[in-house]
Copies of this chain bind each other. A is one copy, B any other.
Amino acid sequence: MTASTVTLERESLLTRYRRVRDLTETLSEPLSHEDQQAQSMPDVSPTKWHRAHTTWFFETFILTPELPGYRVVDERYAYLFNSYYEAVGDRHPRAERGLITRPTFEQITRYRAAVDDAMIRLIAESDHDLLARASARIELGLHHEQQHQELMLMDIKHVLARGSFDSAYRHGRTGGTANGASSRAPGARPLSWTTFDGGLCDIGTDEATPESFAFDNESPAHTVLLAPFALADRLVTVGEWKAFIADGGYQRAELWLSDGWATVQREGWDAPLYWQTEGDDVSVLTLDGRRPLHDAEPVVHVSHYEADAYAHWAGARLPTEFEWEHAAGVAGASPDDANVLPDRLADAALHPRAASGSGLQQMFGDVWEWTASAYLPYPRFRIADGAIGEYNGKFMSNQMVLRGGACVTPTGHLRATYRNFFYPHQRWMFSGVRLGRDV
């Protein structure tokens, strides 16, 4: 590698580092110190905690081991801002992150600045070997921070919804005006099916390269055998979901998985999260505030149980994660131009948009699509050594895979092999449904 290649790489990494780190701060700007403090359920973390935890990640896994003479900003942060790395030591209880009033917002801002200074120095000035060694970890840290950017938006939506006073994350827009004219049309275009032959199909990706990052759970690349199948060419819409509700969808046990039905009964669910019915009017909470629902827009904030029951009711099923990944490849779907989170908040839709064209649409962005696949290791998957090995592997139990990304997933973070995962009862993330069926 020539010196000038290295220089280019340094600059590219610096640019990328600054861009990702800046977006985190941009996302926290509309929020008061109080907003950034609250935790509405154990699954949710405060905005301030996200800002600190992502910083702790760089400090712990890069600066401390790699930057000679680096001194941690505050030794107590390790206890407060470790999320789940058992190998790194004890942690503040997850359900009590809302009680970490100290350090304050300003202290965390200073923490971010100090770590950024050191990171930028490391990227700009470290010798070639160190940089080569650290760059994969830095890349991981940036993708990690992008995951938390999405979590910040999911989480603050949940917090503000519970506060019940002013639940808008962003002011100055009517929620959903960004969605385009089609979302206010009375209904969406009719659903069509796209057919795939299946057969022996390539799934996953091997070791990530500097050019194309991937998480460990996307590897190893391997082959699966698929029967012929079809995918719906767009997401399930609000109008369709209303028909499901009107047909007793939430009252008919025969449509549901047993654990799903128990959840519906226990939680009293009768609609997706954030819907509210007053008389004939149904409204939905968006990050821009509460507004009327549009029949053409995709349904969002549904659990796997609801997705599965809806598919059952519709005479279809959920696609497997392999069907989804294969179809995305065959159809040439790409995250570019998808409705995802751009670097400028003002340009962000922050809500799924109605499908407007034809062909296999909305594969990336808009909403995470529930699949019929349990989150399990790929054949010959190996958990990495040390704390970084805890990144994905230990969660491969009881969760279901979602694919494609959502309107709150940062741009540049998605790819066809990306595997997201949540428990089947969860629905505070931006999750929706695409139908599949046998051919």
Interface residues of A (CB under 8 A from B): 32-40, 48, 76, 79-80, 84, 86-87, 92, 96, 98-105, 159-160, 162-166, 200, 222-225, 227, 253-254, 256-261, 304-305, 308, 372-374, 376-377, 379-380, 389-390, 394-398, 424, 438
Contacts and interface: CB of A to CB of B under 8 A. Distances in A.
Contact of A379 (B38, B162, B227): B227
Nearest to A168: B102
A103 to B, nearest CB: 6
Contacts of A259: 397-398
Contacts of A164: 79-80, 92
A200 B79 CA distance: 50
B99 A162 contact: yes
Nearest to A304: B397
Given A100-B163, A101-B163, A261-B86, A34 B33 contact: yes
Nearest to A383: B312
A80 B165 contact: yes
A223 B225 contact: yes
A336 B53 CA distance: 50
B396 A257 contact: yes
Nearest to A226: B379
Contact of A398 (B40, B261, B424): B424
Given A225-B224, A374-B376, A394-B256, A34 B166 contact: no
The 9 A-B pairs with the shortest beta carbon distances in the complex, nearest first, are A374-B374, A86-B253, A34-B101, A33-B33, A257-B397, A225-B225, A258-B394, A34-B37, A35-B101
Contact of A84 (B33, B258, B373, B379): B258
Nearest to A103: B165
A76 B167 CA distance: 13
Nearest to A224: B225
A256 B79 CA distance: 21
A117 B372 CA distance: 45
A198 to B, nearest CB: 10
Nearest to A106: B32
B35 A32 contact: no
Contact of A37 (B37, B222, B227, B374): B37
A394 B259 CA distance: 8
Given A87-B254, A438-B379, A438-B380, A37 B397 contact: no
A98 B97 CA distance: 12
Nearest to A200: B225
